[in-house]
Amino acid sequence: MSRDPASRLQPGSPNQNWVRILLISLFVFLLAAFVYSKFAPHTPAVNLSYSQFQDKVSQHGVGDAVLDNATGNITGTLKDGQAYVVSGPNPVTSQEVTSITSKGVGLSFVTTSNSWLQALMPYIFFFIVFGGIFLWMRKSAQGQMSAISSIGRSRARLYSTERPRTTFDDVAGYTGVKAEISEVVDFLKNPGRFSDIGAKIPKGILLVGPPGTGKTLIARAVAGEAGVPFLSVSGSDFMEMFVGVGASRVRDMFQTARKQAPAIVFVDEIDSIGRKRGAGLGGGHDEREQTLNQMLSEMDGFEATEGIVMMAATNRPDILDPALLRPGRFDRQVVVPLPDLDERLPILEVHCRDKRISNDVDLSIVARGTPGMSGADLANLVNEAALHAVRRSSSVIEMEDFEAARDRVLMGQRRESLALTDQEKERISYHEGGHAILAYALDNADPVHKVTILPSGMALGVTQQLPLEERHIYSREYIEDSLAVSMGGRVAEMLIYKNYSTGANNDLVSATELAHKMVREWGMSERIGPMAWGSQGMVFLGEDLMHSRDYSEDTSRIIDEEVERILREQEERAFDILTSLQKGLNAVANALLEKETIDGDEVGRLVDEATGKVVSLNKGTSLSLKSSSSKTLDSELETPSVSMSDVD
């Protein structure tokens, strides 16, 4: 089959490559010939004046001579073998020729003429050099013009020839989320079912959830299930230094979507362009607001029957512009929360598919021991377990690797190079022992999982607690016990050493924040009553720049007094409990000094043996990857609680 002649000169074609190779070879050959003709080595010759040459001839010192009729130059060798060059008269007269030959000099004549190649070589060389520079500058200018002309085009990545292969089967857990957005899949597969009855699919679906919960994966699964093109773009791709570029890219993206319809347009991190208009220091960002305005217009302009579904993901729905969330635009919000116990197991199974897992590993136990972790956290946990198995030269991942990986994720990497003095180790032992004993003695506190005085991450010592069951609301008693446990390290130091140290800084920060929430947000203060003000707004939203609170100075003073009262009451409570269990505190501290790390079961045993009685009857066994675990305090603190002595 014959090829199209025009294709022979297409960029990157074999014919064009051969032409380029031939031109480069010709240029190299011409350059080598020119350089060789100019700089080729010659036999050194002595320059003689014409009078000196005549003297040599009259003295019979010249062996032979070659006379150039064109230039008058005379070359040859003397009788002593020395080559010479003479610039003779031009033209040479017959008398001069006779005077040379009469002295016995062998005279011959030549007529030289410059080669046309040699004559044109300098011009060819400079033509090629300057021509190459000109072509390079022209190509560079064309590239810049092309970049400028295409700057308004959308940067959305279109998956059309290879449609997304991700399906709902690849999204582990989240049964409720998948059921909620399954209508989108049904609409894209069978739009006639909806149009016949007069139903309209939501034009926009906003996926809301914490980072790492798989919002982008769910959007790809929707496209894979529906078998339609999938346009993916990040919110930051719309912003550029030139005015109007963002709006132009939005228009181009929707034009592309209409050509590919039915299709899904997915905007990741939409809060980067969808923030509230007119907010921020010094007024709003005009370019960002114009981009948002264009997106609002495009979303409200096309009809649902065109088969275009807009999806977006964000973890900050509170800062989005209200016009973006109204019906007709992003009129459905799908919450993608952190996975619960039943969802963590299938997520772990997905991430363990390509791993060598030992037969003794029970992923259901691992799932129970990882409360509050997102899908990304679980993937990182499995990878950390694999790395730990490699470090100990194991060919499979065992249960101890998952245990070490969880400690690495929750407490940080152990710092082997940090050397502590004996006095520091002893103080840290009593500090962590105070946390551990209160967690064991208080009925509503989460059980102790592990206590260590080995420096990990930024902490010098760590007391790790894991709850026994899934919690979604928290009682006042639970919060107060948590505050008492936070005060345990500081109180233990005061009880033993009669002074305080800087090791309780992290405990005090977390306890003060929790007490503030009790008073300002949860209505757990008798003096404040059933009022809540929420957390402080962010300055970058422009909402709290000039107005940071909506209560009076007297109320602010009462809040401070109530926070102080709550913290002092829990500190006194912790002091009374540790005073009564001081023998147990000494036993736990000595065990930490000896072993450096003990588990929750050993803490309970040491306290009971030292005091001669069972201190806590309602506590379950300490949690490890050999027992169950769950969430911890507050929706904002959904990871296992960790009490620690402060950073060094």
**Alpha-carbon span 122 to 28, nearest angstrom:** 14
> Residue 150 contacts by C-beta under 8 Å, 6 or more apart in sequence?
none
Measured CA to CA, the distance from residue 486 to residue 454 in angstroms comes to 19
Identify the residue whose tokens are 């025009």. Answer: 6
86 strand-pairing partners: 48, 74
Beta bridge pairs of residue 280: none
- Residue 161 tokens read as 């020839």
Q: Which of 398, 403, 432, 562 is labelled catalytic?
A: 432
When computed from its CA atoms, the radius of gyration of the chain, rounded to whole angstroms, is: 43
Contacts of 174 (CB under 8 A, 6+ apart): 214, 218, 336, 339, 343
- Strand order of the β-sheet with 62-68 is 46-48, 83-87, 73-78, 62-68, 106-110
Give residues with Cβ within 8 angstroms of 514, minimum separation 6.
479, 482, 483, 486, 633, 634
Q: Is 432 a catalytic residue?
A: yes
Task: Tell me the sheet residues that pair with 451.
Answer: 463, 598
Burial class from Cβ neighbours inside 10 Å (0-12, 13-18, 19+) for residue 616 reads: middle
Query: In what helix (H) or strand (E) does residue 606 lie, and over which residues does it extend?
Result: helix 600-611
- β-pairing, 157-159 with 73-78? unpaired
First to last CA, the chain: 77
User: Which of the residues are catalytic?
Assistant: 432
